[in-house]
Amino acid sequence: MSISVPSAKSASLNAAKSAKADEFYTQLTDIEKELKHYKKHFEGKVVYLNCDDPRESNFFHYFSYNFERLGLKKLIAACYKSQDVDLFSAGAAEQAIYLVYEGDKNGSGVPELEEIGVQHFKADGDFRSPESVELLKQADIVVSNPPFSLFREYMSQLIEYDKKFLIIGNMNALTYKEVWPLIKASQVWLGVTRTGTGQMWFRVNEDAPVKTGQRVDEDGVRYQTVGNSAWFTNLDNSKRHEDLILYRPYDPEHYPTYDNYDAIEVSQTVDIPLNYDGVMGVPITFLGKHNPEQFEIVGIAKAPLGEPSRIYPKQTQVGKTGARSAVRKLNDGPALKVKKPPIEKTYYEVDGEYYIQLYARILIRRRKVKP
């Protein structure tokens, strides 16, 4: 019997699945679109999918079906706390398992059940557990979409064990204190594919809680979009060696400077001026187009990672009625001076001057000489 392609139609699997918030599954097409840029990295390698129920995960499907084409040495997939009827071994429900696949042994051309070694974890298969870490040590490359709530720990573990990886996370994670130093030092970067708005759709179980950002396809399969999703990796890809084409000349009228960081504001990556040699603040989505030979990353305008030159005493908000309220004392992004207090937005007021706070900006500088 061959392993069936994970699909929401496999109701027998899904029905028994709990509706945990982090149970959302990456679509095969999204995996294929990204993975096609990394083929050369996989030859002779052990790949570990450490947050992947092989019965549900399209990552397992992708790597098992492409095992020979990629020239893999071994594929390991770990399933955290098996929560439904175990298809592989009757009576083993509620136990975490991991699978080992070493390629097509019987010449059928597809991965089959008898070719897959099913092992039981003693504990729950948590990616941080000693058993999972032992598997991690065997691996060359880790690929997964880990639970977002544990992204900091997940990334830190990959770095601690010096692993190559290709994982999905929320783009905002790059401003985490555990992640930002790696991005700045060019040890981690974003992958190739992201939709313009960062919307990647993940399949969710039939009984997942109803939330905004969901859709149902014609077969009744439910999908959830999760913010600004992006691939994080330390595997090289050709996209990060392509120059961004710039066409706007610098004009001080159009590029205001921040009050608390020594840089100009560029609100959209496409507007990066082609002839400005100083520091520019760009949205974090710039990193999806970053070629380290074209721009140098000099910092981030977001406390406490980047150090602002000025701390504002408090933020104020003006409501529709004109009522003012102090909302929080905080200074975590770049500030732009404005003539009047903005309506229905938070702002800083210092000595009769008004400043609005922007979202975190990456601070970059054009390289004059390519490294």
Ligand X SMILES: C[S@@+](CC[C@H](N)C(=O)[O-])C[C@H]1O[C@@H](n2cnc3c(N)ncnc32)[C@H](O)[C@@H]1O
- Residues contributing to the site for ligand X (CB under 6 A): 22-26, 51-53, 57-59, 80, 126-127, 144-147, 150
Smallest separation (angstroms) from ligand X to the CB of 33: 14
Q: Which residue has the tokens 């298969």?
A: 125
To the nearest whole angstrom, how small is the minimum distance from the Cβ of residue 15 to ligand X?
16
Nearest to 336 by CA among 356, 311, 307: 356
Tokens found for residue 24: 């959302």
- Count of positions (residues) in the chain: 371
Cα–Cα dist 350/340, whole Å: 12
* Closest to ligand X by CB, 78 or 266: 78
Closer by beta carbon to ligand X, 29 or else 268: 29
Rounded least distance, CB 37 to ligand X, Å: 18
Query: d(Cα 78, Cα 100) in Å, to the nearest integer?
Result: 9
Residue whose CB is less far from ligand X, 52 or 86: 52
Give the shortest CB-124-to-ligand X separation in angstroms. 8
Q: What angle do CA 153, 155, 157 make, to 5 degrees?
A: 65
Beta carbon nearer to ligand X, 170 or 317:
170
Which residues touch 265 (CB under 8 Å, ≥6 apart)?
A: 255, 256, 257, 258, 281, 334, 336, 358, 361
Least separation in angstroms between residue 180's CB and ligand X is 22
Name the 3-class secondary structure at 350.
strand
91-98 contacts at long range (C-beta below 8 A, 24 or more positions apart): 92/120, 95/120, 95/121, 96/120, 96/121, 96/123, 96/124, 96/125, 97/121, 97/125, 98/125, 98/132, 98/135
- Helix (H) and strand (E) counts for the chain? 8, 21
- Bridge-based pairing of strands 141-144 and 46-49 is parallel
Identify which of residues 6 and 306 has a Cβ nearer to ligand X in the complex.
6
CB nearer to ligand X: pick between 173 and 272: 173
CB of 74 to ligand X, least distance (A): 18
Q: How far is the CB of 80 from ligand X (least distance, A)?
A: 3
**Min CB(226)–ligand X separation in Å:** 8
d(CA 338, CA 66): 55
**DSSP string over 77-117:** EEESS--S--SSSTT-TTS-EEEEE---SSS-SS-BGGGEE
Cβ 130 to ligand X shortest distance, Å: 13
Whether the CB-CB separation of 315 and 328 falls below 8 Å is answered with yes
d(CA 136, CA 141): 9
Q: Which of 141, 362 has the CB closer to ligand X?
A: 141
Residue among 149 and 186 whose Cβ is closer to ligand X: 149
| Residue with Cβ nearer ligand X (56 or 265) | 56
